[in-house]
Structure 1
Amino acid sequence: MQDERNHNTSPTSFPYSSKQLASSTQGGNSDVPVVDLSVSDEELLVREVTEASQEWGVFQVVNHGIPTELMQQLQVVGKQFFDLPEAEKKAVAKEEDFEGYKRNYLEGIDAWDEHLFHRLSPPSIINYKYWPKNPPQYREVNEEYTRHMKKLAEKILGWLSEGLGLPTVALTQSLGGETAEYLIRINYYPPSPKSELALGGPAHTDIGALALLVPNEVPGLQVFKDEQWLDVEYINSAVVVFIGDQLMRMTNGRFKNVLHRATLNKERLRISWPVFVSPRHDMLVGPLPDLELISGDDSAPKFKPYVYKHFKSRKLKKLSLDLTEKKIS
């Protein structure tokens, strides 16, 4: 299994030129939508998250129900892990799979980070050998955070389903229901003298369906919209929600799989905690048939269905995914 982020920025994958993708790390101000989940008007919530997914492919949610203290604990134990000596971090180092710790400081703009990646849910896919034993609270905090994150993800998927005119459970069930996979990647971007030349995380869309990210207070997250890179404003305790490749394909292109990247800071440490929501690896994923029935003949399938593990393999190898595409060079 590979990293849930897709770092392919080929012009045949996205409608952006190489010049645009390699532009300065200085971004403009953005108006990424912010949705307040404390409002009691369900129709308003459905409309706001649906419009944000159609127009932006990214939005932030506040008053989402995840305890602020738990989010703070998540960040504390995450930073404590990266503060450990290198030998201790290597106790959970990557082996053949994508899970584990990796130090990744490369020449150029490919990547300038350390990260820890492991599965969170369902229990049948968890390998605790990649969960740090130090700090001691790491497992307890991450398990509690996973319970809250699953509730939030299913709420958002429910509102998005209703926004498409489908039953509330449609998207959740199409991702496998209780067998949908949740994974966390802690991104650690230390201060870098190459901040104007290098990127912490290069431009990518997320291979999975949904990503829910919590950053620390140091800015650096950017999204690509209207042919320019835009900074995502930091909002204390907010969760940034990204639409990934699978939701874009499942909704037949109605929702955008937003292109985003992470920039570096010369003086300050930046850390982020994205949780990726993906279909079960053996699930067939493609445009939802019920969506075509609701929309009529003008919504013929635009994307070829793929078993999820095969989609990931082809995408990461830069192979064609649809009949109209050529092999990505």
Structure 2
Amino acid sequence: MVNPELVTGTMSFPHAPPTEINPNRPRVPSSTARNLFFHLADLISLYAILQPSSNYAIVTVLKSLHFHSLSPTLSTMPLITSSPSSSCSITSQTTSFRLCFSPSIISALKNSGGSGPSSVRVSKRNNAAVHGGSMSFASTKAHSRSIVDVVFEPFEEVKKELLLVPTYPHDSLARQKYTDQCEKAINDQINVEYTVSYVYHAMYAYFSRDNVALNGIAKFFKDSSDEERQHAEKLMEYQNKRGGKVKLKSMLLPLSEFDNEEKGDALHAMELALALEKLNNEKLLNLHTLAEENKDAHMADFIESEFLTEQVESIKKISEYVAQLRRVGKGHGVWHFDKVLLDAGVA
């Protein structure tokens, strides 16, 4: 944002004849004077940058100037004279130009009008003035920062962004730096999360049967199914937030039987769940890598903060369940393991 606490003075010089401004100064051709003016402006701006604590009141002369010659005889252009030990002044026969000053060391004085000169005088510099036919002055709060500190010109820089705003009704207005590759990958991960949720829901249905009756394990898989569905919905929300389009895909039917003669149903299902969590984590890591390759910092942060930590914790928890079920075997120990899960309400 441009600093609102700078002072801008606009001076007009429509009437002052050459003899009133500087009778000893020779006439200078218009093009030569303009070049000289810009060179002097560069020197003053450079000095202000290198020595910001100096008493120079003129911080910079804006180069977006408009020169309007009143007649062919009024051909001289603005000239600046400046030195550390003497006065600093601007003389002109042009219609108008603009200067920016540091308001903490400037007071604006308008002399009596008519054809006589007006001036902006510098309080901390002796004999430093800008002369002209008329003067208008606008200011805000005093501030010592100079115009050279401005690093952002919003109305100028936003022009190129306006060209990128979509005009077609089916194009997203929110989309910015979101590649088609990232959009497709998010849709793929939505499908992964829904598929894992579907598998866990099938496990929940199996362990809640009356002839299996392991309700603690059933509750664990139901909660896990809900969690994976919430992950899919979170990815769908993110897709819409970034201006992508959610495209749901078909899913394979999950297994409905999880009994295993060698391991038993509880251990077999829990090992399958562990493998699914690791596979899902691998896909999330690939998604994070894709975001970094596409220089999509927001997407990378989203995957990292919302999914990766939680995925590692799930892998750790299910790994412990697998270890415990391997220890207790297929008999009475499975019933006791299930009762512990049910009593603890572990999700």
How does the TM-score come out when normalised to structure 1? 0.21
Structure with a larger share of its residues in strand: 1
Structure 2 length-normalised TM: 0.20
